[in-house]
Structure 1
């Protein structure tokens, strides 16, 4: 979904952003594979046996049930809820760009949330999967429309506007957006466990990450070449005619609404597993009655979670910067640091020296990327809240002195 902001990432990071799209894809592919390796142990005969079923169980094994599982669980919930917030905010941005001046951004966000309230009744992954299917159909249509339009403008592409230098105030924002787009580690243990042939997991990871990196790099590059420095945070807002923009944005709004249920459902599942399994097992009673139906108060809490994402979307209406901040925080930990740390702790004596070196380098990269990204994204968000440019060097630009015509004094003949 967030590929619509990738041309904006090229605006902020130039060619280095495109390189980062490929590099981060490689790192996330690697860390996804080693995370799944942590689910297995070898028995007396040397056969691999799956002894863990989730990211949280791996964390509990390494860091302990008291701290490890809770930390990773909180990070996953934050990542999923922030994804929900971004979908709601994206709907508002798209509608506001399609119908400027009709109502304000906050009103569009509230209107979009109205269509998301039925998500509170979702109880099975089967229902979510059908919504995700139609989401994919809309996604393919949008990508095709934008790419075809950009190719028709190839004769006027702005090659010279792609920068080679790194702007330290904007590149970390691009990097955070890129990292956030590859954070699939939350779902990989479940995905691998449901494969018909688990031996093909590595092949699947290579194919998906290679194709994702290639498509994102090409899409971002030609998208930026088409509009250059005028590229907006959501690329569809750059479309030339209002009618064309409305058609594309409405399809994209439908896709965003259809994308919302999956992270929302996953977040609800994690919250209910952690807090609502019943007295004696968790802090709060179970959300289900004897007939496995949601209790009234449980439905109310789910409604409240939808409204919570709406309120945060209204309170922080900066799509790309918010996405960067989340990617720099939870994205680097879930996709870079923790998988490598857990891999080193669980398989240290069975690893070759270069595997250990690779894990350590990725941990250091994750910590550096995360720290820099959090600082600069938070700074950019603070600047944006105050209506200032995200680059501080553009905040205090010298103002040209106003030229005032001074009349010559009249000669005094007396």
Structure 2
């Protein structure tokens, strides 16, 4: 029998006969004996990269949105930003760094707290890291932020068989983990699917993230007044459960390669599923969080001034390599079919005025084309230049096109050498 989390899962199955896929996913990702996210080795060596790692422009533009939230709320001090699932803390560092360059008093009011299963190393002085699985807070005034967090919540997998909802269970046969279908382990699964008014065809397979209801309930209890900003990949229910996704959206990532078998590399590969934003909005409404914005990441960043950031690269004294490397990292944030199509959800609690958030302005054109030509909503404001890639960020140019990351000036004799 395997050691670590794989052995733990197998022992539990042999004891109980089977477990739900949600239980399997929870253990594979979060078990203290070698889960993917709770293992220090895996935490330091991720099999994917996120928007904050691609370029600090993501954190800078988010800082501008947070500054407006602070203004809408009447300039409270302190203004707390709680980042849930902060991982290495790079988003926190980028937001705090850019906020300190803004001309307003926002940076003085900002209290930034990161929460993760592992406390981030080397946190800057203005960031307060907390190692926790829950929400050790109350009466928060400010904003709760998450980036690619909900997609890692354990999901219940289901299939439509003979017109009924069946749940996917995991069991052991001849020393292999296999799936079996049976009646749902909880009435909440059928209740969720029924509430969405779905007419799913025979053989359809999908996932339901039931854990996010409890998460939203906790957020609402923690937040006294303010906002919740959620960045993640996913869809509204009618798209998530469409015929194009009849096999579900579960994905695995191992050594930067996407796969579909969650029963390999247990504890050493990431397992994710797309977020159902319809259910997330409804759950929020049920717990006192009003939906005030829903938009793609591409649109959000454009509204906050992405084009000006991109254009500013040409105004800086940068080498061609530096300019190209930063441009590639920035464009990755808005790339059609990838990060640009991620969704951003804004929810609010305890506000007594309309929240017209700059990042969620309705576009005047169809952005599905991927065009970035629309004038951004920050065009009438002067703000600091876009931050540049640091050693903490990912150099996509060097990773994809290593020959283009050379500094040609350094390869050509200057004439000053003896």
Do both proteins adopt the same fold according to a TM-score greater than 0.5, normalized to the shorter chain? no
Q: Relative to total residues, which structure has the larger strand share, 1 or 2?
A: 2
TM-score tier by shorter-chain length is under 0.3
Tell me the TM-score normalised to structure 2 length. Answer: 0.24
Greater RCO structure (CA 8 Å; 6+ sep): 1
Higher helix share: 1
